[in-house]
């Protein structure tokens, strides 16, 4: 079985070969130095790209006379969302890079524990996602001999009780599953609201899997950067084009909506996007564009009508999973660069009027936590960071923290012993289902 260093080295060599304009470096030393140091070494080159894209976007805005500067319209209705009840398991599921592909469960006041599932010792597991009822955990698996095009990928679904103990797994073979060159090889699925269907993306296809019957539908000619099930429906929104390899830019595409019941695709009006998030009532889609589009956050109704701007100039980013709508319906979270290397801050946009609240990097024991990805707790009160710290210019720790949205200084460190790799570039839709409830 390949070691993590072998996998990263292979991908980095491919990325360098595909991107001759990148800063030259010795790949072996680069990998050996560790993931966080590698990210910092790449920051200058990526920031130059972000700056160039920003200049192009600014020029486009001037050329169009600022046509997208209209004021936000009234927010969609906010549904009644229940808070945690007694018995909520509260587990957060993460995968760990340094273990070669393992899934861990973490929650406040307890040490991280590895999810003990039959077959995991002879495989690598990644991309955990909780079912809507919080009782089952799904993740992607590659066997010991599996490589990115070997056809050995599987979805594993396992019941998990309140103590974190796993039951008997259900394994669904994904024969023919493959990934784009340079991307993480694990299948990475998200649950539909009914807890039966699962969607994931491979090379040029979106797979829709019936977890009860094992049937698989494959939607061709799609390389999405985001997938989102519409709440309360069997509809899957599919957007973005990630290109033919890891070195390609992510571009906007028309929003395609797939219905499980009709087995048909339709387009959502004239909207084009690269990253999306549904309101919890399913009435509104929030979206941002790709790397060559203006950095705006916009809204559109579920029928494709009433397109409007919520926030102009959201800023550049190197990390993140796009906008993430709060389960309470009133705010949307996104990440943006602070102007210091690849450090990001979190911004909460008010859906009613577009006003923003900026959350600076949280601090614990003198260390600042910089987010890779940010998503919400199921009750909408708390932000979940997969993040890293720095001690001056040296790498610090990495882990998962919980940050109350209205009291962001009251941070809870769920774990600082696991380096979480949610593969946010390869699977930007996955972290939204990291935090489960029962």
The DSSP code sequence of 13-38 is: HHHHHH-TTSPP--HHHHHHT-HHHH
Instruction: Count Cβ neighbours within 10 Å for each residue of 239-257 and write b for 16 or more, e otherwise.
Output: bbbbbeebbbebbbbebbb
Per-residue pLDDT at 419: 82
Query: In the 8-state DSSP scheme, what is residue 403?
Result: E
Is residue 275 within 8 Å of residue 36, measured between CB atoms?
no
Read off the pLDDT of each residue in 3-14 and give the average, rounded to a whole number. Answer: 44
Contact present, 35 and 7 (Cβ < 8 Å): no
What pLDDT was estimated at residue 131? 94
Q: Report pLDDT for 30.
A: 35
* Most confidently modeled range among 41-45, 361-365, 434-438: 361-365
Please give the average per-residue pLDDT across 398-409, as a whole number.
Answer: 94
Give 160-227 as a DSSP string.
B-TTS-B---EEEE-TT----TTS--S---EE-TTSSEEEEE-SSEEEEEETTT--EEEEES---SEE
pLDDT at 110: 86
Q: How far apart are CA 336 and CA 348, in angstroms?
A: 11
Are the C-beta atoms of residues 289 and 273 closer than 8 Å to each other? yes
Q: What is the DSSP letter of 74?
A: P
Please say whether the beta carbons of 213 and 200 come within 8 A.
Answer: no
Angstrom distance (rounded) from CA 202 to CA 345: 31
Taking only the tens place, the pLDDT of each residue in 225-241 is 999 999 999 999 999 99
User: Which residues are within 8 A (CB) of 231 and not within 5 positions of it... i.e. 6 or more apart?
Assistant: 193, 278, 279, 280, 281, 282
In the predicted model, what is the mean pLDDT of residues 90-119?
86
Instruction: Give the per-residue pLDDT at 144.
Output: 63
Gap between the Cα atoms of 99 and 389, Å rounded: 19
Q: What pLDDT shows up at residue 424? A: 65
Average of per-residue pLDDT values in the chain: 80
pLDDT recorded at residue 339: 87
Question: Looking at the predicted structure, is the pLDDT value of residue 43 above 70?
Answer: no
pTM for the structure as a whole: 0.80
* Highest mean pLDDT (candidates 41-55, 65-79, 414-428): 414-428
pLDDT band with cut points at 50, 70 and 90 for residue 394:
low
Q: Is the pLDDT of residue 313 over 60?
A: yes
Q: Is the pLDDT of residue 209 over 70?
A: yes
Evaluate whether 2 touches 147 at the Cβ level (below 8 Å): yes
**If you average pLDDT over residues 321-331, what whole number do you get?**
96
Per-residue model confidence as pLDDT tens digits over 11-39: 444 443 443 333 333 333 333 334 443 34
Model confidence at 359: pLDDT above 90: yes
What is the pLDDT, as a whole number, of residue 119? 86
pLDDT in tens, 172-181: 999 999 988 8
Q: pLDDT-based confidence at 145, cuts 50/70/90? A: low
Long-range CB contacts (within 8 A, 24+) of 348-357: 348/405, 349/297, 349/310, 349/311, 349/323, 351/75, 351/76, 351/279, 351/299, 351/310, 352/72, 352/74, 352/75, 353/72, 354/71, 354/72, 354/310, 354/311, 356/311
The pLDDT value given to residue 98: 58
Q: What is the pLDDT of residue 395?
A: 65
**3-class DSSP assignment, residue 11:** helix
Encode burial over 98-115: b for 16+ CB neighbours within 10 A, e otherwise: eeebbbbbbbeeeebeeb
Q: Which helix (H) or strand (E) holds 56?
A: helix 35-63
Contacts 24+ apart (CB under 8 A), 74-77: 74/352, 75/329, 75/330, 75/351, 75/352, 76/279, 76/281, 76/283, 76/284, 76/329, 76/351, 77/281, 77/283, 77/329
């Amino acid at each position: 079985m390949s070691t993590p260093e072998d996998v990263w080295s292979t991908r980095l060599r491919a990325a360098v070969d595909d991107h001759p304009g990148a800063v030259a470096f010795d790949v072996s030393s680069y990998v050996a130095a560790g993931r966080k140091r590698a990210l910092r070494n790449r920051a200058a080159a990526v920031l130059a790209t972000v700056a160039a894209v920003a200049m192009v976007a600014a020029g486009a805005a001037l050329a169009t006379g600022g046509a997208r500067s209209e004021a936000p319209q009234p927010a969609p209705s906010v549904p009644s969302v229940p808070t945690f009840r007694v018995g909520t398991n509260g587990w957060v599921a993460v995968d760990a890079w340094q273990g070669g592909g393992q899934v861990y469960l973490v929650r406040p006041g307890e040490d991280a524990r590895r999810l003990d599932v039959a077959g995991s010792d002879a495989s690598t597991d990644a991309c955990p996602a909780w079912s809507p009822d919080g009782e089952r955990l799904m993740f992607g698996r590659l066997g010991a001999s599996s490589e990115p095009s070997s056809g050995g990928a599987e979805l594993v679904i396992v019941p998990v009780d309140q103590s974190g103990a796993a039951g008997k797994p259900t394994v669904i073979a994904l024969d023919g599953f493959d990934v784009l060159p340079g991307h993480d090889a694990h299948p990475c699925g998200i649950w539909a609201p009914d807890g039966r269907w699962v969607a994931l993306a491979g090379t040029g296809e979106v797979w829709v899997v019936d977890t009860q019957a094992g049937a698989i539908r494959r939607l061709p000619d799609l390389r999405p950067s985001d997938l989102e099930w519409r709440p309360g429906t069997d509809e899957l929104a599919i957007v973005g084009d990630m290109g033919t390899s890891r070195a390609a830019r992510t571009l906007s595409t028309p929003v395609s909506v797939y219905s499980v019941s009709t087995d048909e695709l339709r387009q959502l009006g004239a909207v084009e996007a690269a990253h999306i998030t549904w309101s919890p009532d399913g009435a509104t889609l929030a979206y941002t564009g790709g790397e060559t589009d203006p950095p705006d956050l916009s809204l559109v109704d579920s029928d494709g009508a009433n397109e409007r701007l919520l926030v102009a100039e959201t800023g550049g980013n190197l990390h993140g999973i796009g906008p993430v709508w709060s389960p309470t319906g009133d705010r949307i979270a996104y990440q943006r660069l602070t102007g210091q290397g690849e450090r990001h801050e979190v911004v909460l946009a008010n859906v009613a009027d577009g006003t923003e609240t900026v959350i600076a990097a949280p601090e614990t024991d003198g260390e600042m936590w910089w987010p890779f990805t940010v998503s919400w707790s199921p009750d909408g009160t708390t932000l979940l960071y997969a993040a890293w710290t720095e001690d001056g210019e040296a790498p610090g720790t990495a882990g998962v923290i919980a940050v109350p949205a209205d009291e962001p200084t009251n941070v809870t460190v769920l774990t600082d012993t696991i380096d979480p790799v949610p593969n946010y570039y390869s699977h930007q839709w996955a972290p939204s289902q990291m935090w489960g409830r029962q």
